Amino acid sequence: LWSLAGGAPVKLAQLQVDEREPVVAAALGRDGKRLLTAAGHFQRGVARVWRLDDPRAPRPGAPIPTAGASAVALSPDGRLVA
C-alpha cells in the first residue's frame, strides 16, 4: 500500500500473501478502510477483504474461495463483493 498524500509516493505496507497465489486484482472500498483482493490462478483462487483501519498494518479477512478472478468490485456500502 502506498500513500500519495504528500505528493511523492510513500510505502505504507506490503500485503502478506501466498507467493504461489499472486494478487491479480484489487479494489479499494469507498471509505478507504477496506481493500478487496483476488489471488490465484484460473481454476483456483481466493479473495480477501483486508481491513485498513491502520494502513501500516493491513489485516486480512477470511478467505473467500473463487474459481479464479481477473477483476473484483465492492458495493458502495461495502457489504457485497463481486
- Is residue 58 within 8 A of residue 13, CB to CB? The reply is yes
Look at the pTM and tell me if it is higher than 0.85: no
**Grid coordinates standing for 35?**
481493500
Q: Cβ of 69: how many Cβ atoms within 10 Å?
A: 19
pLDDT tens readout for residues 9-67 = 999 888 888 777 788 899 999 888 899 998 887 677 888 999 998 988 999 899 888 88
Query: Tell me, what's the pLDDT at 9?
Result: 94
Query: Tell me, what's the pLDDT at 67?
Result: 80
- Is residue 42 within 8 A of residue 51, CB to CB? The reply is no
CA angle 29, 50, 55 (to 5 degrees): 80
Q: Identify the CA nearest to 31 among candidates 1, 53, 6, 12.
A: 53
Reported confidence tier of residue 70, pLDDT bands at 50, 70, 90: confident
